[in-house]
């Protein structure tokens, strides 16, 4: 008798274990082995080596049966092989009853802990519970496989009617009904039931036992966020930056309109500011940019977050696993794919998350002095915040898709007062700006200064939009007339 014998071995020695079992079975006199394991890969491995035997599911003792339960689906194949030659009503009824008892047993194991009535539930009760759990979207019952299971167990199916009638002593069932049940069990019910059982098992292995309560709390803390300093600044809504050319994605063409009356300024009452130190949020934020974080905002799937995970302080995009609603996947994005950090997978309940609601672009050329492996560091003091936000005149709301990927529809550009072409040459080279040419066309682009010309470079890195060449001074060609520095992006209203 062996319990998970491969558990303490590497892959090479696991294979040697499997070979040893095969020798024991093939060498006379043969040896009978009882093997239990949680490892499906190991079971497949010993099967490839020619080991044969009966497979069964073993479940711990519970109120459903009062003892350890061994559910062996192959027993039904042997029962059918014994009943088919007899072709008697008694053999037919016994086989149908065996199928019902096996299905009922597996359903009870799957539903254990869901309802106190499970120990006394029959197959129809289990079917209705699974249907209700699926309809209410409860994981993992909400998955399509359980809809297929409910359909395979539908009381309108003749095979299910025969199975539910089998435990009534007065009813006569023949081999015709037994053949219907055997065909439905072999082709539909058994594979569907097996798939759903494995989903339940895997879900409990990952989420059972109150794992979140036993997880180590994060051992890392947020740096100083200068909340009091941030709340001093006000951001009035100045107008809109609407996309031209039918809102083509990331072409940068904008029509800025300023409202005659400024709205009440937005206040950053519950916000911190930290500095991004790694390439994990590109192209939205680059190393050196400041991250505006709202303290008491729920992080939603696909939002940017600062996550405290074990000893790590991460700046990532939050995603939720499609097959597990309480498993978080923290993904990184870098312009250079070779520098993309590996995703972090963790139970959602073990993470401490702060939602990133804006980015303030770095006013310096490089990021220095950050030797920490952390993806988020202290912003550099109140002076770093003042240097950027004190220049802000307010927000313009983006309408359309021409500002992507830096600013999405309904987000806000934080802008400063327009500057002259000469000042833009000196201070804004390489930074996002809104530039106006001599035709009064306006573009959200990255400013590049050349000896004789100005180049407006697309913020979209796919190469779909060519740069725009402008002269520095009035000439027969188009030339640059005005530049609004874009200080950052606000993703949502406070």
Two domains, one topology: 217-232+268-380 and 234-263+382-494: yes
Identify the pLDDT of residue 114: 86
* pLDDT of residue 207 exceeding 70: no
CATH architecture of 217-232+268-380: Ribbon (2.10)
- Region 332-339 average pLDDT: 91
Give the model confidence (pLDDT) of 414-443 as tens digits. 999 999 999 999 999 989 999 999 998 899
Domain ranges of the chain: 89-208, 217-232+268-380, 234-263+382-494
User: Among the listed ranges 25-34, 247-256, 463-472, which one has the minimum average pLDDT value?
Assistant: 25-34
Furthest-apart CA atoms within the chain: distance in Å: 103
Identify the pLDDT of residue 389: 93
Say which residue, 468 or 20, is predicted with more confidence: 468
pLDDT band at 366 (very low <50, low <70, confident <90, very high): very low
* pLDDT of residue 59 exceeding 80: no
Tokens of 243: 């996309």
Torsion of CA 166, 169, 174, 177, to 10 degrees: -20
C-alpha–C-alpha distance, residues 5 and 115, integer Å: 35
* pLDDT of residue 410 exceeding 70: yes
Identify the pLDDT of residue 489: 96
This prediction's pTM: 0.66
Identify the pLDDT of residue 48: 73
Helix (H, G, I), strand (E, B) or coil at 327: strand
Percent of the chain, pLDDT > 90?
43
- Region 247-274 average pLDDT: 85
Q: Which residues contact 300 (CB under 8 A, 6 or more apart)?
A: 318, 355
Tokens of 389: 């936000």
- Region 31-46 average pLDDT: 75
Interstrand relation of 290-294 and 392-399 (parallel, antiparallel or unpaired): unpaired
Identify the pLDDT of residue 120: 87
59, β-bridge pairs: 69
User: Among the listed ranges 195-209, 273-287, 318-332, which one has the minimum average pLDDT value?
Assistant: 195-209
DSSP letter (8 states) at residue 66? S
Tokens of 195: 């798939």
Q: Which CATH number fits domain 234-263+382-494: 3.40.50.2300, 2.10.109.10, 3.10.20.30, 3.30.420.10?
A: 2.10.109.10
Angstrom CA distances, 257 to 254, 260, 491, stand at 10, 9, 20
Give the model confidence (pLDDT) of 209-226 as tens digits. 555 555 667 778 899 999
């Amino acid at each position: 008798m062996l319990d998970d014998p491969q558990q303490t071995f590497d892959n090479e020695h696991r294979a040697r274990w499997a070979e040893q079992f095969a020798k024991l079975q093939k060498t006379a006199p043969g040896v009978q082995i009882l093997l239990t394991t949680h490892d499906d890969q190991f079971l497949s491995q010993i099967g490839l080596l020619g080991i044969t035997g009966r497979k069964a599911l073993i479940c711990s003792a519970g109120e459903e049966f009062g003892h350890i339960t061994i559910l062996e689906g192959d027993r039904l194949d042997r029962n059918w092989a014994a009943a088919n030659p007899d072709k008697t009503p008694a053999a037919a009824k016994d086989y149908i009853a065996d199928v019902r008892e096996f299905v009922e047993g597996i359903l009870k194991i799957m539903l254990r802990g869901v309802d106190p009535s499970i120990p006394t539930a029959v197959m129809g009760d289990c079917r209705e519970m699974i249907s209700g759990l699926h309809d209410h979207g409860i994981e993992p019952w909400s998955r399509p496989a359980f809809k297929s299971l409910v359909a395979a167990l539908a009381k309108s199916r003749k095979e299910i009617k025969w199975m539910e009638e089998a435990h009534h002593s007065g009813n006569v069932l023949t081999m015709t009904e037994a053949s219907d049940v055997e065909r439905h069990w072999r082709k539909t019910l058994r594979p569907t039931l097996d798939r759903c059982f494995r989903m339940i098992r895997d879900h409990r292995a990952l989420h059972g036992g109150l794992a979140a309560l036993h997880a180590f709390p994060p051992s890392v803390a947020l740096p100083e966020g200068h909340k009091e300093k941030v709340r001093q600044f006000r951001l009035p809504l100045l107008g809109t930056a609407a996309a031209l050319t039918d809102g083509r994605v990331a072409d940068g063409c904008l029509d800025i309109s300023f409202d005659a009356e400024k709205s009440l300024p937005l206040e950053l009452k519950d916000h911190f500011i930290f500095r991004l130190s790694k390439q994990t949020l590109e192209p939205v934020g680059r190393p050196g940019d400041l991250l505006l974080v709202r303290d008491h905002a729920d992080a939603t799937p696909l939002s940017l977050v600062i996550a405290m995970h074990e000893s790590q302080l991460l700046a990532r995009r939050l995603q939720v696993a499609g097959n597990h609603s309480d498993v978080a996947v923290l993904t990184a994005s870098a312009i250079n794919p070779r520098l993309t950090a590996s995703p972090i997978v963790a139970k959602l309940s073990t993470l401490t998350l702060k939602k990133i609601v804006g980015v303030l672009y770095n006013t310096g050329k490089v990021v220095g002095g950050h030797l920490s492996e952390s993806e988020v560091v202290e912003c550099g003091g109140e002076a770093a915040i003042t240097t950027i936000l004190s220049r802000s005149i307010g927000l313009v709301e983006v309408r359309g898709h021409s500002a992507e990927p830096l600013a999405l529809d309904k987000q806000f550009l934080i802008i400063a007062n327009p500057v002259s072409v000469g000042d833009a040459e000196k201070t804004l080279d390489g930074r996002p700006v809104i530039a106006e040419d001599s035709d009064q066309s306006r573009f959200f682009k990255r400013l590049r200064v050349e000896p004789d010309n100005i180049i407006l470079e697309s913020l979209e890195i796919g190469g779909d939009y060519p740069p725009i060449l402008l002269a520095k001074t009035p000439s027969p060609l188009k030339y640059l007339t005005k530049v609004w520095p874009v200080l950052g992006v606000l993703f949502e209203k406070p």
